[in-house]
Structure 1
């Protein structure tokens, strides 16, 4: 890197970004001189070259000095090759100091399901650095990965060169934008080869985009990834190098379902699981096999088709999301239950392209159970979900019912809310110390998420809910009983604000205050708000009036209900105690982007009301 290039990159600080991609150049091709066998057919190895430079513009941007590349383990020729990289910095004398990548800067980690991840961490990366990487990733897979022009940071130039393959036909489709900034097409003449008679002509295509803004990073954005500017490749056909026979990849969803029903990692896996029914008959009797799901463990791998054999799952009691769900589907069918796998793309990974039918369109699977009470959806990978409950990644997503020769799309609707009830009792002594007893009751999605977050550990749950102070004496109920309300009881102390004249100012919700506004984004909102599980928060606080005191003032009551949210607040003083009741809930689980500012305002209003104090005054000061 030259001094001039480095100094020009420094001008990018005015963008205010953590980092900027100076350029990202990709090179997709199938290597005609390097082949592997797929069954009885030879196919060229896929090669994805990458050359990129990234300018680091802040301490937070240092994280862009790390790259990760997934690849298949024990699968020639999968891997990352020809790795070369440098970290460029400018020293005090204005000279560019380039530190090369070393083998010690690279590591490999197990990603599960036969996959590994090559991690590259650049050395000496700091504010002002430029990292430069060149590498090639090779794969035996004939499906091509998408090319992302847009990233989470600004991109000055992003370009992909795609060399078509005469034996594998793809249709490039631009997503997230109407057109490229520049394109180029070049024809390369075929040549005579020894392995077969003649190689057809092929194309070299160049697609480029310039000055792409950072893709907005927003909370509760759902499938905002659909809007990322990217190039996807839809498979169309394969051509046998030996015989010239053409195989079309154009499918209907009916055909996809029929083919899946015959495949070892899907339909035949369900059939194999059904043969295990007799061994686990007692476990599946009752509520749709939920107890079976809790005897198996998810290994964290999320896929739509099984990763191994049924025998492997039975032996290890651990498997991917598809292993667990297809296994349970087979058991339920053998037990006489109407259970069908449902394929989906999980939240945050983009929508299914309906116009391009393929089993590769999906990355997870759940189960649809139909009984006399209606339709329920189950996910055996979430062992802390109650019957009919789905985790956030699957809830309210669209799925394809996987039955042969059918096409039925369903919404994985979830009626459950995230209920959080807070009952608080407060006794204040004359020294201004409040003894607080709390009963937290979680139900629905709130209980499922808490159980999952703490792994069913009572101690972890107590610390998560009661904090370090209250955890030691906390008591929990139904910690490891999915589908039931989860209850945590604990006590703590709080110091009450005491004025010089003896007046006490008590924050009634201090021990259970909900915290910061989750709708804190102040910039322009781009994407719809996808909350997943509608929150319902209920508060009931009972405050014993301190001896020798009377109530001086109470927070005013209020009620707000506008189709966005509902909030009620009422404080009543009795002879011996003050009772405060409040409830906050959202009306929907999804809102348009235009509603975001009002969501923030309503939540701020709730936080303001809950922060208002109850004031007690010594009786001798009253007339």
Structure 2
């Protein structure tokens, strides 16, 4: 019966799709009357129609420009979907050129007493802002938004950066009923395409090629079309490095240009081409060869030190303290290493290429490593645009040492979380390259100790102490050192729903060679249930895990923890006077297969004290989706164990 209902729902959706008129402004009463998506009743909104066309225009004065035309129609079912009534258009800019958005036309439609009423977006509802020196933004929020409304808009983006075609995104966090996309490229530009995601995308090619004449320049056009229907929403979940890595999409990247009477200009075809293009850039390779600006300072720094590890530490810490990161990413320098050194501020490339150059000058085998940050995604195919960051690597007989001097609280082989993204590409002096893992091998440890007194009314007071190393320490230092302490404490108390903290202290906040330690006294009400003459409580109290982070029935993308971890809890509980233990959970232990992780729970009693030891390990940064069901069950069992209760009864 369920299958029959589903079949009717699919047929109904298909009939509606065929009947719909997607011409701009032709919104139907059926679209406005729909109260939920028949194929995804949990969706707060749905793209009824998405259309994109990207093509080239030629002007004799400016040459080729990239034009993208967008038309989108959305159905908003409830208040949770109101966010989709705001559209932000990101526009890139260079030193002298910039993208522009024009022709914005938008309406909101509501069904009132059986009639369609429309509200037009006015010019004063469109806002233009400068987000950074590399990006502008045009943003608008649709008027008269109500539950059940339909919004529709269209606009055009004109870009002078013809080699940078924005990704064709086919899958979103809400469903898409109908999608049409088209890419027209002149014969002079050879683009290669790469597909992501788990939904099959079959492009339609125009193999005959149209011959076009623009402003007196005649050339052929190759057309690629995409038509999709009923694209399901992509559900995000915790521990995903970047959901866009798994979103169904197509990227068109310029491979080479062959203009009339000119030689072929290659952009990217193989990784060798990519590396060669990047390395030969004056804003990359040439910057590595500049040494005059730092020679005297580095000579004074390392003149009495010969040990390679000590030289690495001295130079690494010197660069971190000398040049402040301006928060801009990039594999290319902006103002150059000399100016960054002089003004003591620079972007990622200026700081880490400077670091690499200094390490080489000190006689170390140091090379730059191209990185794609977690937010940027994973470069699967040869691409210049895939890398947006650079770090440094020193090769020693004992192994590689990865360094990022933009990270104030980082240390050797403890990279900032943003860079922990599968593999980087190390570039040697001879221009060759190879892949190098960015994930750490050593576990980041967190050890928590508590000694507490439980009262007969269920209140809890005690002492808390934590010790953190490696990435756990890095993460803590970034949160603590970059915050006002009062705000930090307020967030800590709110995290545990009304915890009262006193005598708060942090040790080794900036001494990176030592573990960071946090300690405080606390009081928290109602940490046990009082029923008659019995007291019920979890021995982990407010530290216990309450919710399984993995909720999807099926997951097709990896679980990415970022780095391996080891967490140990040691808790001593002083029982209230006049009570004894009636029952308590059994000690237990279980593990994930292939040494991916383990959980140990040990509980014991000595007189009026209960001692709890929990040892949890996740030994791999990434866990394959093949283990998802096992991992989900592991966390379910862990949560159940942590929430088991001790029962006290009056003596």
Matched, 1:13 2:32: no
Matched, 1:229 2:255: no
Paired residues of 1:181 and 1:210 also in contact (CA < 8 A): no
Change (3 A) 1:425 1:162: same
Paired residues of 1:554 and 1:615 also in contact (CA < 8 A): yes
Paired residues of 1:255 and 1:405 also in contact (CA < 8 A): no
Matched, 1:529 2:559: yes
**2:272 equivalent in structure 1:** 254
**1:289 equivalent in structure 2:** 316
**2:409 equivalent in structure 1:** 384
What CA distance in whole angstroms lies between the structure 1 residues aligned with 2:90 and 2:572?
55
Paired residues of 2:480 and 2:488 also in contact (CA < 8 A): yes
What CA distance in whole angstroms lies between the structure 2 residues aligned with 1:218 and 1:570?
31
Give how far 1:25 is off: 1.4
Gaps of 5+ in 2: 1-24, 303-310
The 5-angstrom pairing of residues 316-327 of structure 1 reads 317-327=344-354
Matched, 1:488 2:518: yes
Give how far 1:299 is off: 3.6
What CA distance in whole angstroms lies between the structure 1 residues aligned with 2:214 and 2:533?
99
What CA distance in whole angstroms lies between the structure 1 residues aligned with 2:183 and 2:401?
45
What CA distance in whole angstroms lies between the structure 2 residues aligned with 1:286 and 1:99?
63
Change (3 A) 1:590 1:175: closer
Matched, 1:513 2:513: no
**1:593 equivalent in structure 2:** 625
The 5-angstrom pairing of residues 22-421 of structure 1 reads 22-33=48-59, 35-36=61-62, 43-73=63-93, 75-76=96-97, 78-91=99-112, 93-143=113-163, 144-176=165-197, 177-180=199-202, 187-191=209-213, 199-222=218-241, 225-240=244-259, 243-249=261-267, 251-272=269-290, 275-279=293-297, 287=313, 288-314=315-341, 317-347=344-374, 349-354=376-381, 356=382, 358-371=383-396, 373-395=398-420, 397-403=422-428, 404-421=430-447
Give how far 1:236 is off: 3.2
Change (3 A) 1:416 1:499: same
Paired residues of 1:367 and 1:379 also in contact (CA < 8 A): yes
Give how far 1:107 is off: 2.4
Paired residues of 1:457 and 1:479 also in contact (CA < 8 A): no
Q: What are the Cα deviations for residues 165-186 of structure 1, in whole angstroms up to 9, with x where unaligned?
A: 2432323455445453756566
What CA distance in whole angstroms lies between the structure 2 residues aligned with 1:209 and 1:319?
44
Paired residues of 2:267 and 2:274 also in contact (CA < 8 A): no
Range 492-501 or range 300-309, more displaced: 492-501
Change (3 A) 1:362 1:580: same
Matched, 1:609 2:633: no
Gaps of 5+ in 1: 37-42
**1:40 equivalent in structure 2:** none
Give how far 1:51 is off: 1.3
**2:18 equivalent in structure 1:** none
Q: What are the Cα deviations for residues 51-95 of structure 1, in whole angstroms up to 9, with x where unaligned?
A: 11111122111111222222234633521122221222222x233
What CA distance in whole angstroms lies between the structure 2 residues aligned with 1:534 and 1:542?
27
Give how far 1:423 is off: 0.5
What CA distance in whole angstroms lies between the structure 2 residues aligned with 1:163 and 1:431?
73
Give how far 1:591 is off: 2.1
What CA distance in whole angstroms lies between the structure 2 residues aligned with 1:3 and 1:254?
51
Q: The residue matched to 1:124 in structure 2 has which SS? A: coil
Change (3 A) 1:181 1:47: closer
Q: The residue matched to 2:418 in structure 1 has which SS? A: coil
Paired residues of 1:386 and 1:484 also in contact (CA < 8 A): no
Matched, 1:572 2:604: yes
Change (3 A) 1:217 1:274: farther
Q: What are the Cα deviations for residues 85-134 of structure 1, in whole angstroms up to 9, with x where unaligned?
A: 1222222x233222222333232333334322222222233322222121
Range 362-371 or range 9-18, more displaced: 9-18
Give how far 1:209 is off: 2.0
Q: What are the Cα deviations for residues 450-497 of structure 1, in whole angstroms up to 9, with x where unaligned?
A: 222344447155445455744453111112333532211111123454
Q: What are the Cα deviations for residues 507-546 of structure 1, in whole angstroms up to 9, with x where unaligned?
A: 4321433443322x14322222222222322111112344
What CA distance in whole angstroms lies between the structure 2 residues aligned with 1:13 and 1:554?
48
Change (3 A) 1:585 1:171: closer
Paired residues of 1:456 and 1:480 also in contact (CA < 8 A): no
Paired residues of 1:173 and 1:233 also in contact (CA < 8 A): yes
Paired residues of 1:21 and 1:156 also in contact (CA < 8 A): yes
Q: The residue matched to 1:359 in structure 2 has which SS? A: coil
Q: The residue matched to 2:469 in structure 1 has which SS? A: strand
What CA distance in whole angstroms lies between the structure 2 residues aligned with 1:111 and 1:513?
41
- Tell me the number of residue pairs that the alignment of Structure 1 and Structure 2 aligns: 605
| Cα RMSD, aligned residues only | 3.1
What CA distance in whole angstroms lies between the structure 1 residues aligned with 2:26 and 2:89?
28
**2:463 equivalent in structure 1:** 437
Paired residues of 1:436 and 1:494 also in contact (CA < 8 A): no
What CA distance in whole angstroms lies between the structure 2 residues aligned with 1:3 and 1:168?
38
What CA distance in whole angstroms lies between the structure 2 residues aligned with 1:321 and 1:89?
49
**1:544 equivalent in structure 2:** 574
Give how far 1:322 is off: 2.4
Paired residues of 2:35 and 2:77 also in contact (CA < 8 A): no
What CA distance in whole angstroms lies between the structure 1 residues aligned with 2:425 and 2:560?
21
Q: What are the Cα deviations for residues 218-267 of structure 1, in whole angstroms up to 9, with x where unaligned?
A: 332335534433232232332335x4444344544334334433322111
Paired residues of 1:293 and 1:328 also in contact (CA < 8 A): no
Paired residues of 2:32 and 2:149 also in contact (CA < 8 A): no
**Structure 1-normalised TM-score?**
0.87
What CA distance in whole angstroms lies between the structure 2 residues aligned with 1:437 and 1:333?
49
**1:558 equivalent in structure 2:** 588
Q: What are the Cα deviations for residues 573-597 of structure 1, in whole angstroms up to 9, with x where unaligned?
A: 2245322212122243322324223
What CA distance in whole angstroms lies between the structure 1 residues aligned with 2:421 and 2:213?
53
Change (3 A) 1:216 1:185: farther
Paired residues of 1:145 and 1:232 also in contact (CA < 8 A): yes
Change (3 A) 1:600 1:464: farther
Q: What are the Cα deviations for residues 549-578 of structure 1, in whole angstroms up to 9, with x where unaligned?
A: 444433321122343532222222224532
Q: The residue matched to 1:219 in structure 2 has which SS? A: coil
